[in-house]
Structure formats: C-alpha cells, structure tokens
Chain A
C-alpha cells in the first residue's frame, strides 16, 4: 500500500459517514469553543482590585469543572453511538484483508482529524466569540467594561490538552472494541433480533412510587430550610422514577393495551401499540436521558433567570431605604432611640444629603420552639421558629396600623394564631431553671413582613409588645437564658436625595460612629454599629445574580446542544430501522399514507414524551424552587412563575424547531429505499 493510503482512507471515511460524523465534529467544535471561553473568563487578567469582579472568575472556574465532566460523558456516549453504526464498515475492512492494526491506524487518523478540525476550529471560534460572551456577562452583572479582550494562552493550552485526553480515551475505547470483536460479528453488528419486551412489574411499581414520593415531597414542603435539605432527595427520587417510567411503566401500560383484544386489533392501534412497545423497549434509557437533560436545563435557566429578574425586588426587600444604619445595644443599658435617630439624620445632613424620610425601630430576634401556646427559647440550629419582638409604637410605624396594647397583651403578626394566651419561657441551659411571661393574644396583620429579617430559613413570627420596657425585659431574659445575648437590634432607615455615588460615599463615612455622632453620649450606649447603602449592595446583588444567570445560560446552552445531538442521532437510527418495516408493511398491503400517518404519530410521541414529562417535572419542582429562591432573597413567586413559564415556552419552541429539522433527515432515510 502506498504511503498516503491510511490518511486518505481516514479522510474519505469521515466524508462518507458525514451524516453521523459532521454533527459529531460540530459538537467537538462547539464544546471546545465553550470550554475555551470558560477557562479564559475564569483566568481574566487585570481586573480592578475589588471582590465583586472576581465573582465571574469563581463561577467560571466552577463552570469549567461541570462542563469538563459533562463533555467527557457526552463525547464518550456519542462516540460509542458512531462506532455502533460503523461496525459493519469496519467488519468489511477486516474481511477484505485489513488487519486490526491497520484499522487501528485508520481510526487514529480519523481521531487526529477530529482533533485538528474540532479543537482547532473550536479554539478559533472561541476567540471570535469570547468578546461577545464577555460583553453579555458584563451587561448581566452590570460591572461596566472591565474584562478586556485578550488571548488566553492558558485557555488554549488547557482546552487542547483536555480534548486531546478525552479524544484519546474514545480512541482507546474504539480500538478495544475492534480488537475484541470477530469480523463476522462486526459484519453482523447493527441488526440484532427484537425480543419480546419483558414486563417488569416490580420496576414499574418502584417507578410510580419514586415519582409519587418525589412529587409529594416537592409539593408538600412549606419552608426553605426543608426545601434545601430535601431537594436532592426529591431530585434523586424523580430521576429514578423517570427512568422507571420510560423503561417499565410505559411498557406495562402498552402491554395492558395489547391484552385488550377489542382495542388492539384495530388498524391504527395494532401498528401503533406494537410500534410504540418496540420503540420504548429500545429507547427507554435514551428518552430518560433526554427528559432529565431537559428538566435540568429548564430548572437551571428558569431558576437563575427569575433570580436575575427579581434582583431589584430582592434588593428593595432587603434594603427598604437608601441608607440603612444598624445599632446593637444591651437592653440593660441606656439607649435613647429617639435621640439616636435625630443624631443620624443630622449626621447625614452634614454629609450633604437631604433626608426625605426617616424611620427607626428596634427588635429582638430569637430562635424558639413552639408547642401548645408556649414558646420556649432554644438553640438556633434546632428551633423551628424565629420570633421577632417589636414594640407597639414601632409596629404602628412599620405596618401603618393603629396599634395600642395594654400591659400583658401581645400582638401576633405575620401569621394566623389560634392561641388566646401565650407563654414565653426562658430556660437556663445548664440548671434548667425557668422564667416565663404570660400574655393575652391579639391578632395582628397576617401578612406583615419585614424584608430586612426575611433571610432566616425558619418560620418567622412577629410578636408585638406594648412598650419599650417589656421589650427590654424580654431581651434581658434572653441574655439570662443564655441561648442568645440581651442585645437589641435597632435599625434606622433613611431615604435621601443625592446621586447613588454620593449615597455610597456618605454611607462609607457614616460607618464611623464618631462621624455619625453616636460617640461620647451618656444616653447612647451601644456595642455595634454599621451603615450600608442600597446603591452599594445593588452592585453586589447584580454581580452575584447576573453571574449566576450568565453561568445558567452558558451551561444550559451546552446541555441543549448535547440534547439536540442525541435527538438527531436517535432520529437517524430509528429512520434506518423503520425503513425495513415500512417496506414490509407496504408489501403486505398497508396504504402508504396509512403507514406514514402511523409512523408519524409514533415518532411524534417518542420525540415529545420527554419534553412533556420534563414539563410535569418542572411544574412539580416549582414549589421547591420557589422555596429555595427565598434563601437568595427572592420572594416574588409570581415573578418566578412567569420566568419559569417563559423559559418553558422558549425551550419548547426550540425543541419543536429541532424536531422539524431532524424529522426531515428521518423521512429522507425512510423513503430512500422506496424510491430506488
């Protein structure tokens, strides 16, 4: 054989198998481009020396690990699909007198081409797209132009090395495959007889149970803490359930249909049911994969999307005013709240800000256990409720509700209460000695809500006390009980004029107690003091949430691409299988359009079933996601619902587009033989 024989044969193989090979090459190209951009952004140089600019790097470093793992699994999977389809061709080479070593050489050349074309092209595409993605990230994170374009040599090196390793692994797998198989088997390769699908009753039952439990968990969870702890349990149950659903439940249902003779022996049903049975039998795992991939993409994108869309909301909830000053003082010492507010307002004035609105309130928060009308203080990691003690005067300011309480009364807000009397019990941790206070209960506003204190994962209860004295008394009892200190947290909220920059600057200066005028005052004894501006936090919020969203889009895009490829390959392989069946049915006397309709129907069902199931998954997951997002300060569940619906709609459209594209290839394959 001449010298250039193997390289040329390998090249012509790639071209001849174009229908399979080019999508694979494109996948390598796109994943390589994405991987390069990922690594390049993770190592962006010359960033301003501020923590928030490193968010993106952090996200991207995390993203490249996720993406790397995914790329390994995905390329190995598609490669094995490719090789299965080619087993006949390779068997033929073997039979025609090419040794296994020679086949190995051809395969090696093919892999080399894939590497040069896919990874080289990918890095090139990555360089071209890098600026675009950088701009998107900057826009979402509102950082301004800080990531300048640069050629990341490190990114290129890492990408090339990583893909070289992955492709080498696939090559080794292929060589092993060729080495182990006998040529006759290679020749036979693709066509293995169809078996009667087994009914796996146990697995079907398990599937229904898993799915049911997973869904029940997802729907029944009422607070974010349980959502966090149960999330993975629910996810794993649903994943198991999904695979069982596609592999066993579907077959059990179809077999039950087949048993019904009246139903089964009708033209449409006869071909439909047996065809579906066959398809489900062969494709269950593939469909499960697609379904889970769809769900993952949708959950990831809709979660990060609603977080991003809700940033403004979350910011306003957490920081109700433009400038927020917080003081912690000991309830046993003097702290004149009125005087403190006046001093801070005038200090803000000295910084050149006109105060348009000011409001201050003090609260004591405490983790407590509740049982039968008794709240007992407890450790923060086990107690189920967080009780926030306010005074009647502050509650009136915050809620706008006229409130007067007699001594010995407590108003419960933020929830409905059925108790007529409440005891607050404070225990000494070591001696077990107890002190308690009893109150008559008044029902307050059930929807009362303090954004500043919304980040707690436990159930929040607002207990409004008649006056400052009672609040101080409770705070000192807390200190006595020892589960928390007797410090009261006092907030002063200011809305001011001036630009955001001026507000940020003022907040920075006021953070010094001296500047705020709170130092050296007999009536003002405090332990801790801080001032924050909303403007400052806005930047941080957008950096975090925008970065999340960017990562969501980025990874989501890669997953979608993987999904498209899997669906494309599935359509092709089904096309080849259906072609023979199509021919036989025609000979036996089934009208062409009848066959077309029946196959059309089956292909549609098989194609859209994963999307439908994924849609149901997302719908059930909604409650969980909503609870989890509250941990990030996102409370607007209507917005979350809209974002999720929007993501689903866009995704479904994309999915349908993929169908339209792959269906064409499918019908070309099916009708090829009938025209010849």
Chain B
C-alpha cells in the first residue's frame, strides 16, 4: 500500500461576495511510496500551494480524499488536527517560519514541547540532528543573528525532530542563494537516503532535479511525471527543463 494516496482531489474557491469562483484543483490523483523523494512542479497559479496546504491539513478540499497510511486526513476533526500535524508531518517553508522570540534550539524544540516531552529527551533527540545539519554552534543564537541557509537548516531540524512520516517542503530554496541552495538540496538527498519520505513543491528546476520523481501540475491536474531512475542530476535537469517548455507551449498531456 502506498504511504500517501491522493484521490480525485478538487478545490474550488468561491469569492465571499458575488458568485465568481475559481477552480484551483480539478482532479488530482497520485500516490507516494514510503522513502520516496517527490517534487511537484508547476507554474504560478497551477495549484501547487493549494495542493500542499491540503496535504498539510491546513486547508480542506472541496471533494476527494487524502490517505496517509490508509487514514483519510480530510475527515480528521479540527481539534485533533494540530496533534496529527505535529506527530505525522514535518514542514519546511520558503520563508523559514521561525519564531523570532525563540532561540534556534527552542525553535527546534517547539513541536516536541507541544507534545509534552521532557527536556532531557528533547536534547538527546536534538544532538545528532544538529550535528548532521551543521547547526551545533548556533543553537543558542536567535533567528535574526543567523544567515538564510542556517535558518532553513534550523527549519529542517524542526521538521525532522519529531520523526515525521512525511516532510512537506514548500519552495524550500526560494529565499536562499545558490550556495545555500546547493547545501540544502544535498541535505535533502541525504535525509532521503536515510529513509525519510519527502514531498517538495517548487518551481526551481535545480531543486526538482534532485528529487527521485517529479510531478507536473497544470490547470489543477497532474499533467505529467518523470522518474529519475538512473539519470544523473544534469540529465534530469534537462529532462525537466524540456518538459516545462512543453508545458508552457500548451502541449497535450502524455506527449
């Protein structure tokens, strides 16, 4: 059984006043196996972010289902949602979303504290992750004191520390320079090699070329997908770029 299954997902936004409505997702179906590293690509307005928000249980679809290990997260009641997110999902955002009132260490601890873990347990969990992500020396600093790359690694550590089923990354390299981008993508690859499932939304070809599979979304549907298989990153990069060109020309699905 697939770890994540998305079936016939549909989302329609209706303006609060007046009847005009926009269809963000029309019919999305795909699945992700455990240990996969999947990138979702598409132009602005293609529905990427809507999809991610629904997967993150931050938003509800108009219809369709999202199964995580067989459980439909659409039907989880509101009061259990927070705990569900905390225990099963890890988030990495484009603008890091670190709390400026906490030090790096406390930012990473946040989800654990919310689950009521003790300090000793938390710091045991933190040490190997901090070492791996290279943020051991900045644990006591505040977000405003560290670089963008360090902020994003902090956010990754926060996502990893709960041992989530799935890491959801929204444009994780969007606010980073090329060096930090390279570092972060390598890191994602390593984490994935250790068995962590990652789902990343991006429109950076470079970022997507690191994934093992790339899904293309257009007009609210999965339009095409690419498997990396034996390709190296450069070849993958070219394949993705070609597909995007095709997409923009308005080619039909399954060329």
Which residues of A pack against B, CB within 8 Å? Answer: 193-196, 261-262, 265-267, 270, 274-275, 277-278, 581, 583-594
Contacts and interface: CB of A to CB of B under 8 A. Distances in A.
Q: Which of B56, B98, B106, B117 has the most CB of A within 10 A?
A: B106
A590 B103 contact: no
A589 B111 contact: yes
A588 B101 CA distance: 15
A196 B114 contact: no
Interface string B82-124: 1101100101010001111111001001110110111100100
Contact of B142 (A194, A262, A267, A586): A194
Contact of B119 (A265, A584, A594): A265
A274 B81 CA distance: 25
Interface in B44-90: 56, 58, 78-79, 81-83, 85-86, 89
B114 A267 contact: yes
Contacts of A277: 101
Interface residues of B, number: 35
A585 B83 contact: no
A196 B82 CA distance: 29
Contact of A589 (B82, B106, B122, B145): B82
B212 interface: no
Nearest to A279: B101
Contact of A590 (B82, B101, B102, B106): B82
B141 to A, nearest CB: 8
B99 A585 contact: yes
B144 A265 contact: no
B206 interface: no
A262 B121 CA distance: 12
Nearest to B113: A270
B114 A588 contact: yes
Q: SS class of chain B's interface: helix, strand, loop or mixed? A: helix
Nearest to A589: B86
Contacts of B213: none
A587 B111 CA distance: 10
A128 B101 CA distance: 50
A70 to B, nearest CB: 34
A194 B106 CA distance: 15
A196 B91 contact: no
B31 to A, nearest CB: 24
B10 interface: no
Given A265-B119, A270-B109, A591-B82, 20 more contacts: A193-B144, A194-B101, A194-B143, A195-B142, A261-B119, A262-B119, A266-B116, A274-B99, A274-B106, A278-B100, A585-B110, A586-B58, A586-B82, A587-B56, A587-B85, A588-B91, A588-B110, A589-B86, A591-B79, A591-B81
A406 to B, nearest CB: 81
Contacts of B93: 587
Nearest to A193: B144
A584 B114 CA distance: 13
Nearest to A593: B79
Contacts of A265: 109, 113, 117-119, 122
Contacts of B210: none
Given A196-B142, A267-B113, A274-B106, A587 B97 contact: yes
Q: Which of A266, A278, A591 has the most CB of B within 10 A?
A: A591
Interface string B138-149: 000011110000
A593 B110 CA distance: 17
A590 B97 CA distance: 14
B11 interface: no
A633 B113 CA distance: 62
A590 B113 CA distance: 10
B203 interface: no
A589 B86 CA distance: 5
Nearest to A191: B100
The 3 nearest A-B residue pairs measured at CB: A193-B144, A589-B86, A591-B82
Contacts of B83: 589, 591
Q: Which of A194, A195, A275, A277 has the most CB of B within 10 A?
A: A194
Contact of B101 (A267, A274, A591, A594): A274
B40 to A, nearest CB: 18
A193 B148 CA distance: 13
Nearest to A590: B114
Contacts of A270: 106, 109-110, 113
B158 interface: yes
A139 to B, nearest CB: 53
Given A261-B119, A266-B113, A587 B142 contact: no
Contacts of A275: 101
Contacts of B85: 587-589
A592 B82 contact: yes
A572 to B, nearest CB: 19
A586 B82 CA distance: 7
B155 to A, nearest CB: 10
A270 B106 CA distance: 9
A584 B102 CA distance: 12
Contacts of B116: 266-267
Contacts of A591: 79, 81-83
